[in-house]
Structure 1
């Protein structure tokens, strides 16, 4: 998916061109709102949108509200816009609003396995994201990372990556309500304090563990598919981040991580004393530490039994 604005700006559309400053003021709130939901840095969303749509001046952006050049593909059931690109009469997606284009862009990244490693980066690492997009094959232009980075740094877009929900009202653009049930991101934290530990609770929204990992609590009759749907993640992500099986039922009250677990526990506790009913997987879920790392830290092999009273190192 290379940037295509160079082909889309005939003279007729150059009379009232939108400037970079105007683009940012118009869509900064949308980009931050989507970052808080998806984990895609606002600076990346804005810079890609600015690059791909020629700052909102391309014909595709004006007529289809498509700011990222996303094509229809076989699964698209919405509006269609036909134009010449790499081939003649290619089909592009049509959106009801630019914000819908932003949402579809982040969903495209989140649901495509080849971009999964990006969500392990901090959302403030815009350089890592820019180079990672090129590495994953988002664009063929070898200078794509530099183009994004230049736009970000020239316009100070990285300031938006540090923002939280409370900052939204101070921004321009159209107001977007942030539904906590859909705020699910990998690597999305900007380093803020954890709000809760990895314990079950009645809260249905996204919570932050003591190991700085976002999670939800499984509701009644949940499966990997239902959690993926309500958190806008791919099913494979729910399976991979938690060690589940595809399609398995998840007991009500189970902690379900929405980001990869860490290599060690970042909280104060250094070890866990095994209780009745504990397994290495349960300990892994409780503290948000990768299961293979727990085995390694404790010089155990996968499947080795553990005993009540045994001390399991977390760091």
Structure 2
């Protein structure tokens, strides 16, 4: 089947969230939601998530899943807020446990934080199949950007997370803890082995000045034009390029707040005895 896909572009973070469904009144899935966050004031907001909720209610959709492709380093997840208002099970790949363990150490998290994935309602294993109403879906493990990245193949569409960008932008970075350029290359080629007409939906776009934001392409277009992993580029060439490029990149603005939230499935850290939630900023740990 060919699902209907409604995209929501968040210009502040370059993130695209999706609602995947088969028409009015059908079961749906929400992918890679955004909780607004102002790093200057520490305030969160729900304008981005409310756009998703409004669409779901207007179309009388029934969320079954709230899917995360990975623990994002550039935006906070709105999964608990969406679950509270429209329902759905919060899910991510089972390798999130590895990411949780790594960042539990980096942030020296309280002993009550368990790096076992229990904060999520469901952990997908490689090639696990599931259903979104009449739509059959499959969870694809695509490590490289992080060890836990998943893509979701739903009908004739694949939601690739941060594995691929639009062809003129190439691929995601691999220099976060647990990232690996060789793994990312293999993950990209795994996705590009799908039929040429397969629709690919990006999690981010950072458009150059000459074009507006885009997020949908095809396997055929990526194989022909992706500047990093098009046909003919070898593993060795990619690793050399990706490693050199990653050395020039700054850390994402929201990596420290977002990771602490996202490894908790979007939940805030426990409040202190004054009722306020606090984030930790480890000094001189990340490069």
**TM-score using structure 2 length:** 0.30
User: Higher helix proportion, which one?
Assistant: 1
User: Higher strand proportion, which one?
Assistant: 2
**TM-score using structure 1 length:** 0.28
Structure whose alpha-carbon radius of gyration is higher: 1
